[in-house]
Structure 1
């Protein structure tokens, strides 16, 4: 056999092997053939078994999209006039445009609505009412004009938990505020809340918020929505949303009603975050607000306490 014949035979054999390899690959499929769930599970309960410091694979924050996983947040209007008691109406639509009317309770409510101006002013955590046609309604304090981000945190019946976000334009004179400085303490209505913890990007980080009044620790916090505290964290750069709840729950025989409330927070990236803690004492829900930087150097000095204005909505 001459050299050209040998080469031709070798080429045919190589082509056959390559074809067999392609066939096997198509039959088996790649290891990552199943699409990953992109929903941010950090927006829901961390749970008592969460491990602080552990890396978290899914780091996508919620609230950045108006449509996700086939559901859409549809505001009745995206423009309103400034006012102290402005009605907000909206629906959660399925992919076919039909409003969702069945939801699963999460922390004693079917839907949690967060509204905050894009400069982090005017934070409100409220709970709308749902009518039979699938329309949610709730009044908001929108006395300060500007662009607000509205977050709907819910679990549709038969689906996974989602947080959708949409912008709401509030007409009037706009007074944008700079992001408040990083602080380890916040004061609201005579209560002092102290934050202890470091946010490490991409990892589950333990954060403890301790409540005191008149220099004395508060040890009789009252349950609010099934917990001693609720924490919302927003990424300052784009208002990416993290909604976490504390380890344990009232009545479990382990969790104390203060002064400290422990959370596990996963920040998806380095940078500034605004933290809003809801807690209840003496029958009133209050909100303490903090600015914290993910990736802070441990032991870095923090500014003095940041006083909080009264009258946060719930």
Structure 2
């Protein structure tokens, strides 16, 4: 979906159409969850601090997120997908991979399926989607971003290797800002440069990610579309209205975050063996602390005990805190049967 959260807000409020819109925190606090294309023209991006976004675009309109609305629309969109294929791998509320090898409508090509899906999404939701069509997940992802917004782009098997060679390394899905900077330091600026490196060289520089980079540099990606993608973590975080270094106040501010995480675990029947505390300071520096347990934990009391212990380990704090987050990972996808005894002393 193109600028999904912001596009929903512009659809539902005509006064926002054509204006730079940021969905997320307030003008002074928080971060941008999504930016309209009008805002992106000023350099506003998701995950950007709100104060930075305001500096880049003084006329930026901030809108509080409505996640229940976004989820409901996402369900509508997935219903459109399901009419064409059962092999759907959701990535987020606004993105998914589809294997349309055996599409349910009997359309002759993947391009025809993509064209039909985009038209149906617009008819049902009034929103615009972009689609990438190719013979593997990496190239389909690259194609989906290539001419956004409102685009359909196809990379055929004959085009694949040559297309990748000319691709700037920052456009490679799976190459984030840190990895891009490292590749640039090594003289890897394009797919052609990446392809010139041996697998051994890439392993020495990038470890376990090296086989993926080695393959996609040649237009090869053997990952299947997984219809039942397993959730890896459950979490929540909050940016505060004012910064504080007071341990008692921070402990109190953890309470609603823990409520959300425990409720999500309960609703999904999940527990996890690793609890992670995320702390972002007033200067935007960020640290995480994690503790792994012998048995899965999902209940509110267990999450609170571990989270407070991790917070205490960071004290005394030399800087004020603007954000706290808690997540549970190493998930047990069996039914959560209620409180479990923690195997550690606190």
Tell me which interval the TM-score lies in, with the shorter structure as reference length: under 0.3
Give the helix-richer structure, 1 or 2. 2
Q: Which has the larger radius of gyration?
A: 1
Q: TM-score, with normalisation over the residues of structure 2? A: 0.23
Give the strand-richer structure, 1 or 2. 1
Higher relative contact order (CA 8 A, sep 6+): 1
